[in-house]
Amino acid sequence: MGKKKRGHPDVEDLLGRPWCYYCERDFEDLKLLISHQKAKHFKCDRCGKRLNTAGGLSVHMNQVHKENLTSVENALPNRQGLDIEIFGMEGVPEEIIQQHNQRIIQNFYTAQAERQAATGNPPRGLSGDQGPTKKIKYESPEELKKRLAEHRARVKAGGGIPAPAAAPVDGLSPAQGNPPFPPPQQAFPYPPPGVPAYPPAATGTYPPSVSPPPGGSFPPLPARPTVGGPTQPPGGAPPYFYNGAAATADELVANAARQGGGGGGGGGVRGDDIDQLIRMAEAGIKPARTGEEAREGGVQAEKKKKGSRMVYADTEVSPEERMAGLARYRWVGEGVVA
């Protein structure tokens, strides 16, 4: 499909963008940033003259209008000072740069996680079906009730609130994409004390760095209702999570065994025979995967259809013709035109 590439930039691109010390806005290039600063922060409100720096504006105000400049206009509350000389990206204190980069990274991962959650697409650079499966939004009342009952039982028994369901299941762990910059830990020392700045962008929307589980053993998963299907029988084989391409040889073996085992013994069949393994891998896994893909494709197509709703959807008959057919407007006067 000739799908358009989405314009979601990389972290590097984002970090490379020049930005304004006074308002934290970022720009395509330095020229734009400088003209922004001249227009927004270094413009004289008396005569409209645009100066190059806050100091320049201060001198201009003093000499031309006999006034004292006290603060930079349109600046964030903690960035209004005249003591720092800023021109473009020059003069920005090192710790402020650090803070800005932190913020950009955090926002990037938050946005990425949200996008993935919203679209169900895998992270960039990962092939096809490795990514998170689409979040299932719909739960029937019965399922909800059942989940509530389960939750109550758990709370009663364990006394604890189960871990949030979203993180590991949805596979949003940024570690998967091997990003060049580690995502910041949840609580990072920004903003500095006493500084009213940005709200920490949606804390905890992505998991605090979950490392992929070694060798196919899955982290404990909270009960998630399987929609439309029977619940996994307890015990015996581990719950089958189709996780796309097997990450490790062990998993491949396990997958093959599960596929080959059919309705029978599940985990019991451990393929020692390499030939059999290969056969299974060829015969079993591949078709299974394409089936899975097809199903996912179907779900996505359905979603796309649902995605936009046309208020008027008749592609042949215009609204006016429909209205003309209503008794209220119908013309009956002449019958057949003479």
Partner 1 sequence: MAPATQFEVAQPPNDAISAVVFAPDAPRRLLVSSWDKNLYLYEVAEGGEEASLVKTYEHRAPVLDVCFGANQDEAFTAGMDRQVKRIDLATGEQTVLSKHSEPVRCVVYSAQHSLLISASWDSTLHIHNTSAPALPILTIPLPGKPHALAASPSKLVVAMTARLVHIYDLPTLSTALATQPPTPPQPWQQRESSLKFLTRAVSCMPSDAGYATSSIEGRVAVEWFEDSAASQARKYAFKCHRQAAPEDEGGGDVVYPVNALAFHPVYGTFASGGGDGTVALWDAEAKRRMRQYQRFPESVAALAFSGDGKYLAVGVCPGFETGMEDYTGEGRTKVFIRELGETEAKGKGSK
Q: Using CB under 8 A as the criterion, which residues of the chain lie in contact with partner 1 when the complex forms?
A: 118, 306-316, 318-324, 326, 328-331, 333-334, 337
Task: Quote the CA–CA distance of 95 and 116 in Å, as a whole number.
Answer: 31
Of residues 152 and 303, the one with the C-beta less far from partner 1: 303
- Least distance in Å: CB of 2 to partner 1? 16
- Least distance in Å: CB of 33 to partner 1? 19
Strand partners, 26: 19
Strand partners, 19: 26
The long-range contacts involving 303-307, CB below 8 angstroms and separated by at least 24 positions, are: 303/134
Of residues 157 and 313, the one with the C-beta less far from partner 1: 313
Task: Quote the CA–CA distance of 115 and 287 in Å, as a whole number.
Answer: 29
- Least distance in Å: CB of 325 to partner 1? 10
Of residues 15 and 117, the one with the C-beta less far from partner 1: 117
Of residues 274 and 311, the one with the C-beta less far from partner 1: 311
Residue 307 and residue 300 in contact, taking contact as beta carbons nearer than 8 Å: no
Alpha-carbon 156 to chain mean position: 34
Residue 123 and residue 177 in contact, taking contact as beta carbons nearer than 8 Å: yes
* Cis ω for the linkage preceding 233 (within 30 of 0): no
Q: Could you say which DSSP state residue 176 is in?
A: G
Of residues 39 and 221, the one with the C-beta less far from partner 1: 39
- Least distance in Å: CB of 44 to partner 1? 21
The long-range contacts involving 303-312, CB below 8 angstroms and separated by at least 24 positions, are: 303/134
Of residues 95 and 321, the one with the C-beta less far from partner 1: 321
- Least distance in Å: CB of 25 to partner 1? 20
- Least distance in Å: CB of 115 to partner 1? 13
Q: How big is the chain by its Cα radius of gyration, in Å?
A: 30
